[in-house]
Amino acid sequence: MGFMQQRFCVLAPAPPRAPAPYVPRVTFLDLPPELRIEIYKLALKNVTVHVLPMNCGDNRKLPHALTRTSQQVRREVLPLMHSLCPILCSITDFNFDSLREWMRRIPPDQEANLCKNRTLVIRFCTTTELPKSIESMRKWLQMRADPYRPQPRWQYSGSKPADKVCKDLARRANRMKDASRQKEMFVILECLGVPRGNSPGRPPRVRGA
């Protein structure tokens, strides 16, 4: 019996483990601002911003995940998105409400970033029907004619509308009294391949002259 007690003696408890050395926690926002900017650029490399009609349920209307991370990340990434990412806006039957609402959400101090962007495209999708209301386009032309706000380099594109729509647009353009708004309207017509017709101050073309 004594032999068994000597052979199977009770083991002493293991000594407590030494505490792990303290390592300061480093978060993304602890990185230098310059490094964060480069990370944002990599994340936005293949991103295209889509501005879709307001009644569209496409999931492309969801904000980019980076803009929903935190307020600080949003403040840092939005200027890069506005100045670097291609922005494609779809306009149906000359209704600019969705684009105007999108631009309204941009802080005034951020509008200048859009002027740095070289890929701003407005794509027109027209039907055979005449626009039900020209008020939306009128407000867009007024915004574009405002000399006191930054004017991004929007490029218009789209196929030529139906003949009756072309005639209606040309008639409205030629009747505009404000020269700045009329100039922007003529840019839209030219990009869509719509003939201007006879502009005010331009004598009608006479056959054989």
**CA distance linking residue 84 with residue 68, whole number of Å:** 19
Q: Is the pLDDT of residue 199 over 80?
A: no
**CA distance linking residue 91 with residue 52, whole number of Å:** 8
Label the pairing between strands 154-158 and 87-92: unpaired
Task: Give the DSSP letter string of 52-71.
Answer: --TT---GGGSPPGGGGT-H
- Give the residue extent of every domain in the chain: 29-55+62-192
The confidence band for 147, taking pLDDT boundaries of 50, 70 and 90, is very high
**CA distance linking residue 209 with residue 128, whole number of Å:** 35
Q: Is the pLDDT of residue 202 over 60?
A: no
Q: What is the pTM of this model?
A: 0.77
Q: Is the pLDDT of residue 88 over 90?
A: yes
Which is more confident, 76 or 209? 76
